[in-house]
Amino acid sequence: MSQKTVKIGLIGLGTVGAGVAKILLEESGQILQKTGLNIELARIVDKDIKSQRPVKLPKGMLTKNLDALINDKSIDIAVELVGGTGFAKDLHIKLLESGKHVVTANKALLAEHGNELYRVARKNNTCIAFEASCAGGIPIISAIRTGLAANKIEAIYGIVNGTCNYILTNMTKKGLSFKAALKKAQQKGFAEADPTLDINGHDSAHKLVIMASFAFGYEFKIEDVHIEGIESISIDDIRYAEELGYVLKLLAIAKNETDGTISLRVHPSFLHKECALARVDGSFNAVSIFGSAVGQTMFYGRGAGMMPTASAVVSDIIDVALGNSVTTFNSLKLKGRSEIESKIGNIQTLTKRFYIRLMAKDEPGVFSKYSKILGDNNISISGALQHEGTGPENTVPVVITTHPTKQENIDKAIKQLTKATFISGKPVCIRIVDIPEDNID
Amino acid sequence: MSQKTVKIGLIGLGTVGAGVAKILLEESGQILQKTGLNIELARIVDKDIKSQRPVKLPKGMLTKNLDALINDKSIDIAVELVGGTGFAKDLHIKLLESGKHVVTANKALLAEHGNELYRVARKNNTCIAFEASCAGGIPIISAIRTGLAANKIEAIYGIVNGTCNYILTNMTKKGLSFKAALKKAQQKGFAEADPTLDINGHDSAHKLVIMASFAFGYEFKIEDVHIEGIESISIDDIRYAEELGYVLKLLAIAKNETDGTISLRVHPSFLHKECALARVDGSFNAVSIFGSAVGQTMFYGRGAGMMPTASAVVSDIIDVALGNSVTTFNSLKLKGRSEIESKIGNIQTLTKRFYIRLMAKDEPGVFSKYSKILGDNNISISGALQHEGTGPENTVPVVITTHPTKQENIDKAIKQLTKATFISGKPVCIRIVDIPEDNID
């Protein structure tokens, strides 16, 4: 077997960057033996060259000199791990124009400017590889583009934000409040000091745009995604839904709807407790993909963290070095925006199931009053739960699950219920997602 | 994007073959749009050209003329779906020597003659692609070779035989006997008329040899695998173990053991009920892979059937047509037999946990007698369960789980217990497999 030497330049020596450096420096022998590739980490650039990192670097490898890396013609592959969408975008363009392939974990950048960057890459006969941008160590991009290539993708359901899943698992299994669960996630290192992008659903939406673009073959944008986060989830609703057999997850969904549109959405979702995704706990990620030939699949693993994400980055480096990523990248064509507009579903017209919780005044006739409002709006009740005992201000919590209902009907009913004198405050409304599990019998 | 036309010859128009023909004939437009590949099914060969198939073929495409296919220089990729290890082996050699790449689902052939065939392929600058040989539609070979390429693989735990999993699920969840569950599997089309290779564990072993060879980098053979099937599993043991929190699965395991050896084994395995693989039911397959960087992953989907397996075959065709499979195939080197002999673990020296069920005479002093035999053989009891009431011939079933114990100690104890006058019949002994789940807290 012939050997091939490939030189790597790494930009950004944070947590994941240090993991990548560690694998490239410590496992190069193993990689050479397995693949015939002599992968050589040549340069590392970071603005901080002083802090201790959990990897021992050869002297002089780490510098602040980004231009030297960009201008180094001997470097074949650049690994961008600086994050963000401003500086990183310019950097990608410079690297691609200098003839380097780029490996990245930067989901925000690709979700917002990916289509432009893919064009720059194609123009320069280079490629962008981004396995690490979605679901950490889980090889989901490879599954979508290669392993399931024979399929028309029908739906993607993903738990792709480890921070949110860790928080929801701790609320569900340990009874912590949202605030306490978030604090624990931060203490354990699963949540950033500023967790906004995670808990408001935008991080999941970034990953969804990337997965859905290559699964469905369209240049999707972040604006195509309906996004709701988990900031206002109450432990009460997790408990009531548990009694009805549901578990709460933040799902990223891309789906061929029955009306011919593709819906892209991130929102808190009640899943039936027996469903495979409902059992994905802690900081784990999982993505369930439904294909026309393969049926249901699920891919499960660590969605973040130093080594799992580094695993995906280095696997990409190997695939780029072999030449496969370039071929795959060039073979995949996404349909442009002009073909997309009519395909994007409007969440207002989708017909789905809902969980509604209202605090009703504990007095005669109330039951018939709120159920009349639901009926008047064409909402059919599937299940209901009203415990004895009172909430604040002589109210009782009433929990209702609906049959499939149009979003606009639900919105109208919630508006009327919020105004009603026999209801205290605004009702809580959370979507129920019925994942079509394949029959096991 | 330029178009590339690739011609396919399909040999074997059984269930999976018909699925492959269906996708190639009906989805070629979609594949062209997605990948730029114009994949053209040119010839189909089968000895039966009369039976109705669930796909409409162009006139003249299906013939009995195998030589015409082999000698057709315009065919780039041959798909072998005839199965078996005799005729199929010669066929592979002829196809590879005629310069064709071969895509196959034939696990028995690759497990028994793969190493020889890989050499023939390399010599002829062709490749063999075999995603469909393991776990049906789940892209597990791609995950091992590409998606997790940065990792040293530490262990593979697979539920890779849908027939066995369907039978065990029906025994566990519906209380069916082994015989009744097998009959149901045959009626539903999940088990062959002759299910021997499935239920005796050999089919799982074939798949394990293929997965482990590429995960660990050795030319493993079927003789390296310790194989036990599920033929003698009794519903009683499934029920007793359930009380202790265990679920029975037929697992295929390849693992770096603590003594530096790699163990390859297929055997009935009690898994803790909370473990992800314990929840894989019906004819579904799942493979959990532990990598040095990525930690725990799991890949889940349909392990057999017309369209899921066809999904894997056609995904392979696309990857071969793009040129990626050839690159990956050529880059992977397996260490030869001379380097393997000392690496293969001997199951006799492995230290694992066990479930033992014995039918003890219901008389004073018996408890101390059998527990003395266990103690004398250095077997430490972890859990025990003895229900009141009697079995046949005034016996009671006693269920014991052990702490980690050497196989040879267990074998000695079972031999002594079988001879003992206070025990009726031969005790049942089934391994407990503790899968190191990553901490979710």
Mean pLDDT of chain B: 94
Predicted confidence (pLDDT) per residue in A85-105, tens digit: 999 999 999 999 999 999 999
Q: What is the pTM of this model?
A: 0.95
Looking at the fold, whether B156 and B289 belong to one and the same domain comes out as yes
Does residue A137 lie in a domain region?
no
Contact A149 B276 (CB under 8 A): no
Q: If you measure CA to CA, which chain B residue comes closest to A217?
A: B34
Q: How many distinct helices (H) and strands (E) make up chain B? A: 15, 17
Does residue A421 lie in a domain region?
yes
Of B284, B308, B313, the CB nearest to A440: B284
CB atoms under 10 Å from CB of A33, counted, come to 13
Looking at the fold, whether B200 and B299 belong to one and the same domain comes out as yes
Question: Mean pLDDT over residues B231-235, rounded?
Answer: 96
Of B292, B324, B332, the CB nearest to A327: B324
Looking at the fold, whether B198 and B298 belong to one and the same domain comes out as yes
Instruction: Round to whole Å and give the CA distance between A249 and A236.
Output: 15
Instruction: Round to whole Å and give the CA distance between B368 and B375.
Output: 10
B164, B299, B326: best to mutate for the A interface, most A CBs within 10 A = B299
Contact B319 A138 (CB under 8 A): no
Contact A297 B137 (CB under 8 A): yes
| Residues whose CB is less than 8 angstroms from the CB of residue A241 and which lie 6 or more positions away in sequence, other chains included | A247, A248, A270, A355, A399, A430
Predicted confidence (pLDDT) per residue in A365-388, tens digit: 998 999 999 999 999 999 999 888
The radius of gyration computed from the CA coordinates of chain B, to the nearest angstrom, equals 24
Rounded to a whole number of angstroms, the distance between the first and last alpha carbons of chain A is: 48
Instruction: Round to whole Å and give the CA distance between B109 and B84.
Output: 6
Question: Mean pLDDT over residues B45-51, rounded?
Answer: 96
Looking at the fold, whether B379 and B250 belong to one and the same domain comes out as no
Mean pLDDT of chain A: 94
DSSP A154-204: EEEEEE--HHHHHHHHHHHHH---HHHHHHHHHHTTSS-SS-HHHHTSHHH
Looking at the fold, whether B268 and B197 belong to one and the same domain comes out as yes
Is the pLDDT at A434 greater than 60? The verdict is yes
Predicted confidence (pLDDT) per residue in A27-69, tens digit: 999 899 889 999 999 999 999 999 999 999 999 999 999 999 9
Residues of B within 8 A of A147 (CB-CB) are: 131, 138-139, 142-143, 312, 315
Of B311, B313, B333, the CB nearest to A36: B333
Q: Tokens standing for B302?
A: 């349909």
Tell me which of B303, B321, B337 is where a domain ends.
B303
Predicted confidence (pLDDT) per residue in B304-315, tens digit: 889 999 999 999
Is ipTM strictly over 0.85?
A: yes
Instruction: Round to whole Å and give the CA distance between B24 and B209.
Output: 30
Number of CB pairs, chain A paired with chain B, less than 8 A apart = 226
Is the pLDDT at A342 greater than 90? The verdict is no
Does residue B271 lie in a domain region?
yes
Domain enclosing residue B401, as ranges: 348-432
Does residue B116 lie in a domain region?
no
Instruction: Round to whole Å and give the CA distance between B84 and B47.
Output: 15
CA of A366 vs chain B CAs: smallest distance (Å): 43
Predicted confidence (pLDDT) per residue in B175-195, tens digit: 999 999 999 999 988 888 899
Residue whose C-alpha is closest to residue B297's, from A111, A342, A298: A298
Q: Which amino acid is at A187?
A: Q
DSSP B143-177: IIIIITTTSPEEEEEEE--HHHHHHHHHHHHH---
Is A152 annotated as catalytic?
no
CA of B46 vs chain A CAs: smallest distance (Å): 23
Q: Tokens standing for A72?
A: 């180094």
Does residue A20 lie in a domain region?
no
Instruction: Round to whole Å and give the CA distance between B141 and B148.
Output: 10
Q: Give the model's pLDDT for residue A387.
A: 84
Is the pLDDT at A148 greater than 90? The verdict is yes
Tally of domains within chain B: 2
Exposed e or buried b per residue across B239-252, where buried means at least 16 C-beta atoms within 10 angstroms of its C-beta? ebbeebebbbbbbb
Q: Give the model's pLDDT for residue A192.
A: 83
Does residue A23 lie in a domain region?
no
Looking at the fold, whether B298 and B353 belong to one and the same domain comes out as no
Contact B315 A146 (CB under 8 A): yes
Pairing of strands A4-11, A37-45: parallel
Looking at the fold, whether B260 and B178 belong to one and the same domain comes out as yes
Q: Give the model's pLDDT for residue A3.
A: 79
Grouping H, G, I as helix, E, B as strand and the rest as coil, residue B419 is: helix
Tell me which of B303, B335, B365 is where a domain ends.
B303
Instruction: Categorize the per-residue pLDDT at A2 as very low, low, confident or very high, splitting at 50, 70 and 90.
Output: low
Q: Active site residue: A207, A221, A255, A352, which one?
A: A207
Does residue B81 lie in a domain region?
no
Tokens 């020596």 locate to: A13
Predicted confidence (pLDDT) per residue in B333-382, tens digit: 899 999 888 889 888 889 999 999 999 998 899 989 999 999 999 999 99
Among A136-140, A190-194, A325-329, B262-266, the least confident range: A190-194
Of B35, B148, B292, the CB nearest to A149: B35
Looking at the fold, whether B157 and B274 belong to one and the same domain comes out as yes
Q: Give the model's pLDDT for residue A388.
A: 82
Contact B311 A332 (CB under 8 A): no
Is the pLDDT at A1 greater than 60? The verdict is no
CA of A279 vs chain B CAs: smallest distance (Å): 8
Q: Give the model's pLDDT for residue B393.
A: 80
Query: Is pLDDT larger for residue A152 or for residue B191?
Result: A152
Question: Mean pLDDT over residues B266-289, rounded?
Answer: 95
Does residue B74 lie in a domain region?
no
B279, B311, B316, B322: best to mutate for the A interface, most A CBs within 10 A = B311
Residues of B within 8 A of A213 (CB-CB) are: none
DSSP A314-348: HHHHHHHHHTHHHHHHHH---B-HHHHGGGBPPGG
Question: Mean pLDDT over residues B81-107, rounded?
Answer: 97
Give whole-number Cα distances, A193 to A136, A183, A189, A197, in Å.
20, 10, 9, 11
Query: Is pLDDT larger for residue B392 or for residue A112?
Result: A112
Pairing of strands A77-80, A101-104: parallel
> For chain A, what percent of residues have pLDDT higher than 70?
99
Which secondary structure element, helix H or strand E, spans residue B96, and what is its range? helix B87-97
CB atoms under 10 Å from CB of B407, counted, come to 18
Q: Tokens standing for A43?
A: 């340069």
Instruction: Categorize the per-residue pLDDT at B332 as very low, low, confident or very high, splitting at 50, 70 and 90.
Output: confident
Look up the CATH number of the domain holding residue B254. 3.30.360.10
Grouping H, G, I as helix, E, B as strand and the rest as coil, residue A217 is: coil
| Residues whose CB is less than 8 angstroms from the CB of residue A355 and which lie 6 or more positions away in sequence, other chains included | A237, A241, A244, A246, A270, A399, A400, A401, A402, A428, A429, A430, A431, A432
Contact B139 A146 (CB under 8 A): yes
Q: Give the model's pLDDT for residue B441.
A: 73
Question: Mean pLDDT over residues A337-350, rounded?
Answer: 88
Contact A311 B150 (CB under 8 A): yes
Of B23, B293, B318, the CB nearest to A311: B293
Look up the CATH number of the domain holding residue A370. 3.30.70.260
Is the pLDDT at A267 greater than 70? The verdict is yes
Q: Give the model's pLDDT for residue A392.
A: 80
Q: C-alpha B394: how far from its chain's center? A: 41
Nearest-10 crossing angle of helices A324-331, B324-331: 170
